[in-house]
Amino acid sequence: MRFCTVVNCMDGRVQLPVIRFLQQRFDVDYVDSITEPGPNLILYKQKDHGLLRSILARLEISIKNHGSVGIAVVGHAQCAGNPAGKDEQITHIRGAMRFLRQQYDGVEVIGIWVDENRQPHEISLKD
């Protein structure tokens, strides 16, 4: 059994498209889900220390106990937890990716933007 981990919004509209995308992207059977409203903003700002510790603790469990082969951080259109527009959210996703890469050296970290049609798109650190 192979796992990856997603730090995703709690919004139910984006759960299944992201899980399906990640199963293919990382060639895994299962996706461990860590959900918060607007997680890309939480990880980008790093100001809510309680939420940050909670997310990182859950990531630790997934990485250590399930041997997660990758981490994805997600932002999406029409997000109630992070109502910023696409360009600003992509900035948040990239900042969150940088932060998570510092925390988990050796684990692949990617970003995903889910558009208004619920289609996931991988985000690179450059563009």
Please give the pLDDT value at position 48: 96
DSSP symbols for 56-115:
HHHHHHHHHHH---EEEEEEETT-SSS---HHHHHHHHHHHHHHHHHHSTTSEEEEEEE-
The fraction of the chain above a pLDDT of 90, given in percent, is 97
List, for residues 18-70, the tens digit of each pLDDT value.
999 999 999 999 999 999 999 999 999 999 999 999 999 999 999 999 999 99
For range 109-126, the mean pLDDT: 96
Q: How confident is the model at residue 127 (pLDDT cuts 50, 70, 90)?
A: low
Ordered structural domains, the chain, with CATH: 3-123 (3.40.1050.10)
pLDDT for the residue 84: 97
Around Cβ 43, how many Cβ atoms within 10 Å? 25
Average pLDDT estimate for 82-87: 97
